[in-house]
Amino acid sequence: MWNVCGSEIRHSPVRVKIVVTSRSRNRPTPLLARKVERIASVLEEHMGKPVQPRRKSAPLDSLIATLLSQNTNDRNSHRAWLHLKREYPSWEAVADAPTRMIAKTIEVGGLKNQKAKRIKLILERIRREVGRYDLGFLKTKSNEEAMQYLSSMKGVGMKTAACVLVFSLGREVFPVDTHIHRLCNRLGLVQTTNAEQTFNAISTVIPNGSAYSIHVNLIRFGRKTCRSNNPLCSTCPLFDECVYPDKVTHAAMAARPSGRSKRDVDFIILNHVS
């Protein structure tokens, strides 16, 4: 049950773990916390300290933009976002539009039919429960309450919910997608099999005030250096921290360019939502 704008909302209870339980094999330790601090420091030294835009996007904007970013790259998801906003001047207009027209508008972002249906369902639910197309009430909720509410929506996982908290609400929550999950395992921060496990395992050891910086720099690091295929281990500033079993082999190989420009490396869609 939720109290939003003075009214009660009832929905199926959803439990979202945002801390590590005592039974977790990835229980945080002082050594792990110090390693996270070292990695954060090295990333900032080599890639700079990301500065979050002073003007933050509305939570609903961030939610839809993050949904559009699922299973595609930031450039295409941003194009889908721009097409959606240009075609429909308000969320009410999106909610009133046929699903097939929304799908056509966001086609460049991939999975157009699935995403269009989910956008419609999300908007319908928010209008029904809140009375308007607005998630501003989340500013008064705790991190756990906001995460629970957002992740109870179809198509909204913990990563998407966490992105809304970080990029719109300025909260100290560390979003973990499949790429950050891969990097955290390569760097020996966790031993997990999926992004949700990584999120639960590492949330409590992110240094206070560093969640945004580490999140953005890991994304940049994963695009520029620690790529999924052909990682540039020979030039990696975190080589000594890494537990990736093939790092010596890759370090001996001639580096092959990725073909991405610096602009592509630095672009984060949720910093460009307005």
**What residue has token string 């590590």?**
20
Q: Looking at the predicted structure, is the pLDDT value of residue 33 above 50?
A: yes
**Region 174-183: what's the mean pLDDT?**
96
Q: Are 270 and 167 in contact (CB under 8 A)?
A: yes
Q: Looking at the predicted structure, is the pLDDT value of residue 2 above 60?
A: no
**Region 202-219: what's the mean pLDDT?**
94
Selection from 166, 157, 152, 131 nearest residue 53 by Cα: 166
Q: Are 139 and 180 in contact (CB under 8 A)?
A: no
Residue range 180-207, pLDDT digits in tens: 999 999 999 999 999 999 999 999 899 9
Q: Please state which of the ranges 22-26, 90-94, 210-214, 258-262 shows the lowest mean pLDDT.
A: 22-26
Going by pLDDT thresholds of 50, 70 and 90, the confidence category of residue 54 is: confident
Q: Looking at the predicted structure, is the pLDDT value of residue 7 above 50?
A: no
Measuring CA to CA, how many Å separate 89 from each of 6, 38, 55, 97, 121? Answer: 28, 45, 20, 12, 19
Q: What pLDDT is stored for residue 256 in this prediction?
A: 60
Going by pLDDT thresholds of 50, 70 and 90, the confidence category of residue 13 is: very low
Is 159 noted as a catalytic residue in this protein? yes
> Which amino acid is residue 175, in one-letter code?
P
pTM, whole model, 2 decimals? 0.85
For the chain, the straight-line distance linking the first and the last C-alpha, in angstroms and rounded, comes to: 31
Task: Give the separation between CA 116 and CA 118, rounded to whole angstroms.
Answer: 5
**What residue has token string 């070292």?**
38
Considering the candidates 85, 159, 224, 247, report the single residue annotated as catalytic.
159
Q: What pLDDT is stored for residue 257 in this prediction?
A: 58
- Cα 105–129–9 angle (5° rounding)? 145
Q: What pLDDT is stored for residue 255 in this prediction?
A: 59
Residue range 55-106, pLDDT digits in tens: 899 999 999 999 999 999 989 999 999 999 999 999 999 999 999 999 999 9
Q: What pLDDT is stored for residue 20 in this prediction?
A: 34
Going by pLDDT thresholds of 50, 70 and 90, the confidence category of residue 258 is: low
Task: Give the separation between CA 258 and CA 172, rounded to whole angstroms.
Answer: 32
Q: Looking at the predicted structure, is the pLDDT value of residue 22 above 50?
A: no
The torsion region of residue 148 among left (phi > 0), alpha (psi -120 to 50) and beta comes to alpha
Q: What pLDDT is stored for residue 17 in this prediction?
A: 46
Helix, strand, or coil here: 156?
Answer: coil
Task: Give the separation between CA 216 and CA 219, rounded to whole angstroms.
Answer: 5
Task: Give the separation between CA 30 and CA 40, rounded to whole angstroms.
Answer: 15
Going by pLDDT thresholds of 50, 70 and 90, the confidence category of residue 274 is: low
Task: Give the separation between CA 167 and CA 271, rounded to whole angstroms.
Answer: 7
CATH fold of the domain at 59-169: Endonuclease III; domain 1 (1.10.340)
**Biggest alpha carbon distance in the chain?**
63
Q: What is the mean pLDDT of the chain?
A: 88
Best CATH choice for the domain 30-52+174-270 from the list 1.10.1670.10, 3.40.109.10, 1.20.120.1200, 3.30.70.2190: 1.10.1670.10
Q: Looking at the predicted structure, is the pLDDT value of residue 19 above 90?
A: no
Residue range 111-170, pLDDT digits in tens: 999 999 999 999 999 999 999 999 999 999 999 999 999 999 999 999 999 999 999 999
**Region 3-15: what's the mean pLDDT?**
45
pLDDT higher at 164 or 12 = 164
Map out the domains of the chain as residue ranges: 30-52+174-270, 59-169
Task: Give the separation between CA 215 and CA 193, rounded to whole angstroms.
Answer: 19
> For strand 7-9 and strand 2-4, is the pairing parallel, antiparallel, or unpaired?
antiparallel
Selection from 138, 139, 221, 211 nearest residue 186 by Cα: 221
